[in-house]
Amino acid sequence: MAEDSRAFVAVDGGGTHTRAALFDAFGRELLRTEATGSNPHRVGVAPAVSALRTVLSGLESKAVGLDLSGVCVGLAGRSHPQASLMLREACTGEPSQAAAFLRALAEAPLRFLREDGELARAAAFEGKAGVLLLAGTGSAAWGLGPRGSVRCGGFGPSLGDAGSAHAIGMGALCKAAEDFDRTGQVPSWLHELTSVHPRRFESALRSGELRAAELAPRVLELAAQAEGCAVDSDGAASALLAVRDDAVSALLGLAETTAQRVGLLGSPVATAGSVAEALRPHLSRRLGERLRPHTASALVGGYWLLRTQSTVPPEW
């Protein structure tokens, strides 16, 4: 194999975790680092900068003697007005052993700033046509086809983020509120979703104290248990299954809308994010062979973009 000293850095910045990887010129991952979330809309600008600096500086030990040729950052908060500034600040600021390495990153000839889903889509399809469906705390879809590329959804919790953890939690809370209005009692199944004392359920529901997205994993777990339940005297199984099925339908609708926008009826669909992965068996029943197998991480997608889009001007 010919010698090639080039190195590439990819970053996947979400609301909960930030991950980075150093790749050599042949796509081999040399080192991976992880820190807290870096979506500035969710964690704030200063914590996001700190997380980005942590994952980037942590790669320095394996980069000695390599030519830093490109950095691709996929950021869940790409729309934030300070997103580019955050990356530049993460590569400067407080002195450290990795300061020279960070400066080299800030001067790399290729510097991409993309949405996190674009990296995941690149990892899934390697530039070929298809739709990436991402559902975690929020949800969105990215498509590439004959009509170009497009992103659909991802408008945030105020507009619902269809099929996301937020939407699933809100669906359960809405059904609980309907039951409370009808019976004057908080449904028993809601007790299994949260540690809030039963006497405080009404005030917690009305005040917004219960964080919807945090309820989603337990909602899906209870829905799975309810699937084979023969008796549903208190309506728990029906309520939870309805919430889960609504999420599945919403994600399928988002994927189809995206496919239509890019001219890909019957498009293959890949998934990313904790909720989409949890719902894969149910998505598979509807999508069949259109549902792609599990794919490489978004970090691999960042490497792929750097190697195939070599003429793009620096984006940060």
Q: How many CB atoms lie within 10 A of CB 93?
A: 13
DSSP, collapsed to helix, strand or coil, labels residue 63 as coil
**Element holding 72 (H helix, E strand):** strand 67-75
Chain centroid to Cα 285, Å, comes to 23
Q: What angle do CA 279, 284, 285 make, to 5 degrees?
A: 105
Closest CA to 27 of 13, 12, 8: 8
Can 6-108 and 129-293 be said to share one CATH topology? yes
pTM above 0.85, yes or no: no
Strands 29-36 and 17-24: antiparallel
Is residue 281 classed exposed, middle or buried when 0-12, 13-18 and 19+ CB atoms within 10 A define those classes? exposed
Contacts of residue 156, defined as CB under 8 A and 6 or more positions apart, other chains included, come to: 41, 138
Name the stretches of the chain with pLDDT < 50: 1
6-108: CATH number: 3.30.420.40
Instruction: Give the relative orientation of helices 99-106 and 83-90 as an angle to the nearest 10 degrees.
Output: 140
Domains in the chain: boundaries: 6-108, 129-293
The pLDDT score that the predictor gives to residue 1 is: 46
The pLDDT score that the predictor gives to residue 182 is: 86
The pLDDT score that the predictor gives to residue 212 is: 84
Q: In one letter, which amino acid is 181?
A: D
Q: What is the 8-class DSSP label of residue 28?
A: -
Return the residue matching tokens 């309810």.
226
Alpha carbons 172 and 169: distance in angstroms, whole number: 5
Q: What is the dihedral sign for C-alpha 28, 34, 37, 39?
A: negative
129-293 is classed CATH 3.20.20.70? no
The pLDDT score that the predictor gives to residue 232 is: 67
The pLDDT score that the predictor gives to residue 233 is: 61
Alpha carbons 292 and 295: distance in angstroms, whole number: 8
The pLDDT score that the predictor gives to residue 205 is: 66
Query: Residue 256 phi/psi, 5° resolution?
Result: -70, -40
Q: What is the 8-class DSSP label of residue 9?
A: E
Alpha carbons 52 and 61: distance in angstroms, whole number: 16
Is residue 296 classed exposed, middle or buried when 0-12, 13-18 and 19+ CB atoms within 10 A define those classes? middle
